[in-house]
Amino acid sequence: MLRALLSMLVIVGVGLALLWLRPSIVNDAPDPVETAAPASSVVAQPSSQRTPRVQNARPIAPEVVAVPRIDGGELVRQEARLPLSPLGAAPDPANMPPRETVLHRPVALAAGLVQAQGHDIALAGIETVDPEEMCDHEGRQWPCGAHARTAFRNFLRARALSCIVPATPLRETLTVKCTVAGADPALWLAENGWVREGAAEYGDAIDEARAAQRGLFGPPPGG
């Protein structure tokens, strides 16, 4: 019985203490209305509308610091300085020695005359046959020059020529030796009778073609 009475007194005492402390706890808590910032009171200013502050620079000793005025009419352009070493200069193609060059897609202008990549080349050792030349065989005229050009075109078949030519094409026709896939095109023309005259190295081939009545020395193609 005494124990139950003591327990009741403790519970009543704790309750009175809580009632006494409650006003101070309520008063110390922050007011949610006061802490919340009104949405309409703060307006963020866009960064794009901010006007930068401009300050005019004050000249200090302009006769010393300022750039002097220069009259453009007095300026004279000087020649470019030569390189300190030949290694620093870009090679001029016009001054380079001729070398063997692969010329792609040559076009036969006549038997023994080709044009490729800006170069006009006559094969050395033979005389070019005019594409307008006419030949006579037993009183019959036929366009042997045009046939010689066609035969030469069929031989080339757009294959590349290897010739010793300058790096920069010249305006005049070059007379040089050339090869096509390792073969001598001038020798092919001589052996098949598509040239009349040539150097001594092609003389035997021309004579053999004349004796066999090939090309220019025989009847027109097709009889």
In the chain, domain spans: 95-217
148-199 pLDDT, tens per residue?
Answer: 999 999 999 989 999 998 888 888 999 999 999 999 999 999 999 999 999 9
CATH for the 95-217 domain, from 3.90.1150.10, 2.60.34.10, 1.20.1560.10, 2.40.50.90: 2.40.50.90
To the nearest whole percent, how much of the chain has pLDDT over 90?
46
Q: How far apart are CA 83 and CA 90, in angstroms?
A: 10
pLDDT confidence of residue 137: 86
pLDDT confidence of residue 41: 47
Whole-prediction pTM value?
Answer: 0.57
pLDDT confidence of residue 209: 95
**196: which residues sit within 8 A by CB, 6+ positions away?**
127, 129, 206, 216
Q: How far apart are CA 29 and CA 27, in angstroms?
A: 6
Q: Which residue has the higher pLDDT, 65 or 36?
A: 65
For 29-48, what is the mean pLDDT?
51
Instruction: Give bridge partners of residue 107 from the DSSP assignment.
Output: 115
Q: How far apart are CA 129 and CA 74, in angstroms?
A: 63
Least confident of 36-40, 156-160, 188-192, 208-212: 36-40
Would you state the structure tokens that stand for residue 133, as one six-digit string? 């030349």
